[in-house]
Amino acid sequence: MENYTIDNFMKTNLLPVVPLRGKVAFPSVSVSFEVGRETTLKAINRASATVDKLVFICTQKVTEKDDINENDIYTVGCVAKIKQVAQLSGGVIRVLCEGLYRAKANKICFEEGHFYAVAQEFPFQDGDEVLQEAHFRTVKALVKDVFALDGKIPKETVAKLELTRDANAYMHIALSAMRVKVEIKQQSLAETDTVKRLQILERCLNDELEISKVEKKIAGAVRQSIDKSQKDYFLREQLKAIHNELGDGGKEEDEFREKIKAKNLPKGLEEKCLKEIDRMEKMQSSSPEYTVISGYIEQVLSLPWTEETTDTESLQECIAVLDSDHYGLDKIKERIVEYLAVLKLTGNMKAPILCFVGPPGVGKTSIAQSIARALNRKFVRMSLGGVKDEAEIRGHRRTYIGAMPGRILYGMKNAGSINPVFLLDEIDKITSDMHGDPSSALLEALDPEQNSTFRDRYLEYAYDLSKVLFLTTANSLDTIPAPLRDRMEIIELSGYTLEEKSEIAERYLLPKQLKANGLKEKCVSLDEDAYRYLIEGYTREAGVRTLERTIGSICRKVAVKHAQNKRAPRVKLTAEKIKQLLGAPKFTIDESSLLPKVGEVTGLAWTAVGGTTLAVEVTTMKGKGELRLTGRLGDVMKESAQTALSFIRSRADEYGIAQETFATTDLHIHFPEGATPKDGPSAGITVATAILSALTGKQARGDLAMTGEITLRGNVLPIGGLKEKSLAARRVGIKTVIIPKGNQKDLEELPDALKKEVRFIPVERVEEVFAIAILDGAKTQSKPRKRAQAKPMPLPIREEPVRDNVRCDG
């Protein structure tokens, strides 16, 4: 601003500007309005912080415009004092102001996020006393007539007008109470001459008087129309009675009653529905409420209340169905057989809530369909990916237009039985927004102690979900809220080994793709070596989705030959033929990566899509002893790297490293694939090994991988996700893996084929890691310090990894 600043605005009447939409503020009149616009909120806050709490209230020219400038507001307004500010929801405030005097903005500018105005008092000027008094009396008479016809003017306003003797004050009170166009109110406020202001109000009042008379006439005509509608309704009811007596008429209400009595509904719900039908009989069929009630009754009748399917009685039959559809997945199959066995012995039990957690493509969704088939139950699938409105789970209240039940009741309606297998797919992809949190709405449905009385907002009655077998799937538990996770029985699915993928491909994927591409059985066959070549060379995943697509690609190419020549011979694929059909392998083992290097060590990590290898690179340079970490690391991983460095530094003399090295050498630790977030503590021994290799200049073995958390005392702590990490090492050709001794018990759960190909070396101290990983390890191995025997401390609880992030803690 040129001549005005924030510091001296009280001296020059520099006031914050409050532009109103659809309202005009008058002197001596209180005005209330809501503020949600950021610029106006700042103006109110600025004025509230002053002693006088004054603002310049003006009117916005275009009501619908949000982003305004100084040309979009009228310059004549009202200086008002803020009386009250109330906080509403959604960041909106309600402000009550009292108008003091009319003012004109000589200058409007934008500063500090809101408008300021140099407001100068702009008083009214009286005219000829006789003429002014005559117009004033006319205005008062017209105001009484208009107010008498309106009937909505508060009594306090009428009483205040009777006590007002000043013509300008009278006009301000009357205009504030009347439903007059904003342009007319602004014209009256901007006019200086009192007589002309009275004339403007006279014209406005005469128009309002005519409008009120027309409104009264229209209201009378509407009442006559309503009386006629009531008469028509009475006659129509008599006509229905005549049709019923003659036996040629039927009522929808009677049909509903018969269906409700035959449906065997709960007693309370049956009474409620019959009351709703009684209401329907008193309404016209064209009434919107009639349609709402009719739709509600139809929804109630479409839901299963007592209908249920009979479960498979033979456990062997159930096992046979599960085995015929899926290879492996023993934990899930065992849990389903346990449930069926207990159900068979007790006759009744609450269904468990199972959550299958694992990488994509391992069969989480398809096993749910097999479970339904094995139990002889209906199957319902509900995808939760992207669901962010609580109403999608619980439904809408019937008061809303177009209301409907939630997706759980919609699934029950489609199932047609009260005991289906209900799959909630991708439960870890639920989001929340201003409409509520769907995961909170699922708490009741997924709680065996509560879901017998699940309440949908549309149904408004308890619905029994206790016999439903709820299954959920997720790639990661990290994004599932703890209360929801606590209600589910977690079953983890690991990635498949090479042998398991070969079996799955031969038993299920190849026959499926042959059928999908119009080829006969055994038209294409692969031997064991061909499967291995196909899996290792063209896929790199925990599941089998890419493998299925690759087999599908082979089948399509064979289908082309059979389409051209129907007598084409059967194809027995070898590695060479696969290469001819698909081209060069996409994935090969880089032999150079297995060579020993200085400052580079291979670690193992866990992701939501399976295990992966994680290279750690360390380089040294002259500097001031600083440590630089790159690769988009989380706080836990940064702390793990600092712990590793501190351990090496504390044992520097034992490894032949001069203490001055740490003061004159900078260390840069980098984790490649910097765009991928990484976190977790289990890269500790990997980082420590890479640091020691870089500082001593000795090579670290490239043909082994390692995983384990390091402590300041050099202990190696257990990790999670051992199977996935081991499979990742095997995929890149690494045959030796260093693991914490605390994970030795987990080796029993690993497949025998994996244990035959990969050598696992359990370690308890980081010195053992150095002796194995760093060439000429005898020189780097130090004697463990003697420590007092202490009770082992419990490990902290680890959460599952974040989706799409690389976690080094399993």
Catalytic residue numbers, as ranges: 682, 725
Q: How far is 124 from 197, CA to CA, in rounded Å?
A: 10
Query: What DSSP line would sit under 618-683, residue for residue?
Result: EEEEESSS-EEEESSB-HHHHHHHHHHHHHHHHTTGGGT--HHHHHHEEEEEE-S-TTS-EE-STT
Dihedral sign, Cα of residue 359, residue 473, residue 723, residue 371: negative
Rounded to 5 degrees, what are φ and ψ at 356?
-95, 120
Closest listed residue to residue 204, CA positions, set 142, 159, 133? 142
3-state helix, strand, coil in the chain (%, to 5): 45, 20, 35
Rounded to 5 degrees, what are φ and ψ at 590?
-80, 105
Cβ atoms of residues 739 and 707 within 8 Å? yes
Chain Cα centroid distance, residue 679 = 23
Q: Which two tokens stand for residue 74?
A: 């009228």
Instruction: Output DSSP code: residue 8.
Output: T
Rounded to 5 degrees, what are φ and ψ at 422?
-110, 110
Dihedral sign, Cα of residue 590, residue 594, residue 595, residue 601: positive
Q: Which long-range contacts (CB under 8 A, 24 or more apart) does 329-334 make?
A: 329/363, 329/367, 329/493, 331/491, 331/492, 331/493, 332/356, 332/367, 332/371, 332/491, 332/493
580: part of which helix (H) or strand (E)? helix 575-582
Q: Greatest CA span in the chain, whole angstroms? A: 117
CA atoms within 13 A on the CB side of 806: 24
Cβ atoms of residues 676 and 635 within 8 Å? no
Q: Helix 252-263 crosses helix 267-281 at what angle (to 10 degrees)?
A: 180
Q: How far is 174 from 160, CA to CA, in rounded Å?
A: 10
Instruction: Output DSSP code: residue 307.
Output: -
802 Cβ contact partners less than 8 Å away, ≥ 6 residues apart: 476, 478, 479, 608, 677, 679
Instruction: Using the structure block, give the residue that is written with the tokens 């005549």.
Output: 242
Q: How far is 676 from 672, CA to CA, in rounded Å?
A: 9
